[in-house]
Amino acid sequence: MRIALAGNPNCGKTTLYNALTGKTESAGNWSGVTVEKKAAKLKRKYGAFGTEIIIVDLPGAYSITPYTAEEAITRDFILEHRPDVIINIVDGANLERSLFMTTQLLELGIPVVIALNKSDIIQERNDRVDIKRLQAELGCPIISIVATEAQGLRELIAAAVKAAGKPQRRVTPVFGDEAVLERHKFVEQIAARAIVKGDNLRRVWLSDSIDRIIANQWIGLPVFFLVMWAVYAFSIEGLGGFLSDYFNETLFGEVIPSAADNLLSSLEIHPFLRDLILEGVIAGIGAVIGFLPLIMVLFFCLALLEDSGYMARVALVMDRHFKRIGLSGKSIIPMIVGSGCAIPGVMATRTIEDAGERRVTAILTPYVPCGAKLPIIALFATVFFPGASWVAPSMYILAICVIIVGGLLLKKLFLWENTSVFILELPEYKRPSLKYASSQMLRHSKAFIHKAATIILVMNTLVWLMQEYTWLLQPAADQSQSMLGTIGSVLELVLKPLGLRGWQPGAAAITGFVAKENVVSSLAILLSEGSEAVLSTPGGPLAGLFNPVTAYAFLIFNLFTPPCFAAIGAMRGELGAEWLWKGLLFQIGVGYTLAMLVSQIGSLVIYQAPAPGLPAAVGISAALGVFLFIKIKDTAAKRQALNLAAETRS
């Protein structure tokens, strides 16, 4: 039996879905967090009904007549797959508006059960809802629930199962898609008869006062930077960094390697296998897992921030700035989702209805450093900038700058006009739930560990083998003659204008495209040989390859060139093949140029000496400048021609 959950954005659908299925999907309180339908089995504690019950969570929509792509999913799913019963989640705090969609769902001929969510807010506001009357007016059962507290869910499921598959007698008239106003009038009348409004002024007034500071036209942006600075400094250099240091130095630096060494020696296993496990697997994975505390702290903080209602205000503040580069506040939503992982971030661009804006947002979203890039940032920050709290936040600020400049460039390079409008619901502020933040933290750490134990493990084994053996499968006398060494040497030429020396940076960067954490683990494997020091100690083995300026440039290179393959796949899904290539070229160009400029200019300013590869860097910059100049002029000419054509037509 399939039960579909449908309702307005921010009505608590995903919270209910998580409670019913035991999943921990991210449940933002703004539209666009759920862009694809999700399905899972009902938890057994809500009752055994003899058949398997699948709960399907649909993206939120205000209406089932689609406006954006994710709203179309809701309608298409219901019409094509015809679930056995629809649970329509109705937001108690927005009862009248929610009933609009209810009347639409009732017309589909599928039994509907209403879950009246946030019934605690109804009480708090002293609103009175005459449930009996509402049931009679709508002709379907209504169950009061509080999804965040998991109250009333058993009754809800029982009612849904009872209603499933049986025809429901329709008491509401059929309006169809066109008679929108008549439908609204009808809903108004029902609401007037069944709802008595209490007093809601104080709460609302508080929300507005906070908004006047946080979303202020002048201080809104500085407040946002300050908040982000605090979150990242706390997670990467504060508590998270402190715990990570312990993990890296003590646990994975001493305790585990020596224990594993003793164990493997006592088992008298083949030295080849011993080396593979110690130098490949443990060194590699340890270098990544060491950063787990940092990931946990960061996602805990971000979930708290999101749950409080702040992120919708960020979209509001950014709207005017993004409008200047042809985007809108809507583009900020995928980017904030992308700070966790670029894949759902890129997918969230679907909520943007303007095609040009959607494309540009999908190309720019991977610039926001995702969770997987965090270990790279943390590693380089601790090794080359010990004690400095600005490195990690600077990467995020740089990301915002790259997004703004990148957006401007894309607007100049490609021909498009933004026609989208900005309409965003502002949820009331609320005290963030520690329970939700903890569940998000656990979800992200689980995913992180899972990734380390699968894709990173495989990659580490491969990297270790490739740096031990030559292409002829002979043990390499010198690492640089190994398979990885020769690949890295080719890349060394490419990375030379960035002031980078040695084949290891290129080799590590290339493994980063499988998963960005691999940059850290590969460096650990490549540098662990012949060095007892832990990778993340200041002045450790990394200092032989980089100085602080080139380290910072390498960090930029890894963060601002294209994301991992999985995220590139997501980009392909949203952009299509042609724009994917344009997007990737753009990302490579921006990341490479930025790293080059930082390295060369930084070296000249700080060390008063050019970094290696300066002539090549100058040549590349000049060529790039000429290319951009020609391309921008070309686009401007095309735009003018198009405008002229439009004028003559009108």
Partner 1 sequence: MRLSEIAVGCEGIIKHVAGTEKVCRFLYSIGCYPGERITLVSVLAGNYIVRIKDSRFAVDRKIAQIIELGEVTPGADEPDLGCRHRQASRV
User: 3-state class of 33 per DSSP?
Assistant: coil
Please identify, using beta-carbon distances, which residue of 184 and 639 lies nearer to partner 1.
184
Q: Which of 48, 52, 169, 201 is close enough to bind partner 1 by CB under 8 A?
A: 201
User: Which x/- pattern, by CB under 8 A, does the window 213-232 give for partner 1?
Assistant: --xxx--x------------
Q: What is the crossing angle of helices 292-307 and 239-246, to 10°?
A: 160
| One residue of 211, 249, 261, 529 binding partner 1 per CB under 8 A | 211
SS (H, E, C) 307-357: HCCHHHHHHHHHHHHHHHCCCCHHHHHHHHHHCCCHHHHHHHHHHCCCHHH
Give whichever of 210 and 457 is closer to partner 1, judged by the CB atom: 210
The pair of three-digit structure tokens given for residue 196, joined into one six-digit string:
């008595």
Neighbours of 489 (CB within 10 A): 15
- CB of 315: closest distance to partner 1 in angstroms? 8
| Nearest approach, Cβ of residue 215 and partner 1 (Å) | 4
Residues 6 or more apart in contact with residue 302 via CB below 8 angstroms: 231, 339, 340, 440
Burial 444-473 (b: 16+ CB within 10 A, else e): bbebbeebbeebbbebbbbbbebbbbbeee
Alpha helices, DSSP H, located in 24-118 = 69-81, 95-106
Task: Give residue 331's identity as a one-letter amino acid code.
Answer: S
By CB under 8 A, tell whether 123 contacts partner 1: no
Binding partner 1 (rule: CB under 8 A), the pick from 36, 130, 149, 208 is: 208
Cβ atoms of 590 and 556 within 8 Å: the answer is: no
**Interface residue with partner 1, options 123, 168, 200, 486 (CB under 8 A):** 200
Give the binding range for partner 1 (CB under 8 A) out of 35-43, 135-143, 316-324, 573-581.
316-324
Map residue 56 onto helix, strand or coil. Answer: strand
Q: What is the DSSP string of 431-471?
A: PPPHHHHHHHHHHHHHHHHHHIIIIIHHHHHHHHHHHHB-T
Shorter beta-carbon distance to partner 1: residue 63 or 445: 63
SS3 231: helix
Count of residues binding partner 1 (CB under 8 A)? 42
Instruction: Provide the minimum distance between the beta carbon of 325 and partner 1 in the complex, in angstroms, as a whole number.
Output: 15
Q: Find the shortest distance in angstroms from Cβ 436 to partner 1.
A: 21
Q: Which stretch binds partner 1 (CB under 8 A): 260-268, 296-304, 425-433, 507-515?
A: 425-433
Classify each residue of 345-355 as buried b or exposed e, where b means 16 or more C-beta atoms within 10 Å of its C-beta.
Answer: bbbbbbbbbbe
Nearest to 86 by CA among 60, 65, 115: 115
| Contact set for partner 1, span 41-100 (CB under 8 A) | 62-63, 65, 67, 93-97, 100
d(CA 344, CA 347): 5
**For partner 1, the closer CB: 403 or 466:** 403
Q: Which of 2, 38, 274, 320: binder of partner 1 (CB under 8 A)?
A: 320
Closest distance to partner 1 from the beta carbon of 552 (Å): 33
Question: Judged by CB, which is closer to partner 1: 320, or 451?
Answer: 320
Distance of CA 603 to the CA centre of its chain: 34
Among 146, 289, 317, 553, binds partner 1 (CB under 8 A): 317
Q: Of the ranges 153-161, 211-219, 376-384, 386-394, which one interacts with partner 1 (CB under 8 A)?
A: 211-219
Q: How far is the CB of 335 from partner 1 (least distance, A)?
A: 17
Nearer to partner 1, 62 or 416 (CB): 62
- Classify the C-alpha dihedral 379-384-387-393 as positive or negative: negative
Taking CB under 8 A as the criterion, the residue among 136, 196, 388, 423 binding partner 1 is: 423
CB of 425 to partner 1, least distance (A): 5
- Nearest approach in angstroms of CB 3 to partner 1 is 24
Q: Which is nearer to partner 1, 428 or 529 (CB)?
A: 428
- Which residue is listed with tokens 């508590």? 239
Cβ count near 513 (within 10 Å):
18
Q: Is residue 111 a contact partner of residue 138, using CB atoms and an 8 Å limit?
A: no
CB 262, CB 280: distance < 8 Å: no
- H or E element in which residue 480 lies: none
What's the min distance (Å) between Cβ of 102 and partner 1? Answer: 13
Residue 328 engages partner 1 in binding (rule: CB under 8 A)? yes
Hey, is 142 helix, strand or coil?
strand
Q: Is 134 in the site for partner 1 (CB under 8 A)?
A: no
Q: Which stretch binds partner 1 (CB under 8 A): 179-187, 474-482, 537-545, 642-650?
A: 179-187
**Does the protein bind partner 1 through residue 308 (CB under 8 A)?**
no
Q: How far apart are CA 618 and CA 495, in angstroms?
A: 14
Closer residue to partner 1, CB minimum distance, 317 or 452: 317
Cβ of residue 317: shortest distance to partner 1, in angstroms? Answer: 5
Rounded to whole angstroms, the Cα distance separating 409 from 436 reads 39
78: three-class secondary structure by DSSP: helix
Shortest spacing between CB 221 and partner 1, in angstroms: 9
Q: What is the spatial distance between Cα 522 and Cα 460, in angstroms, rounded to a whole number?
A: 7
Site for partner 1, rule CB under 8 A: 62-63, 65, 67, 93-97, 100-101, 180-181, 184-185, 200-201, 204-205, 207-208, 211-212, 215-217, 220, 316-317, 319-320, 323, 328-329, 353, 421-426, 428
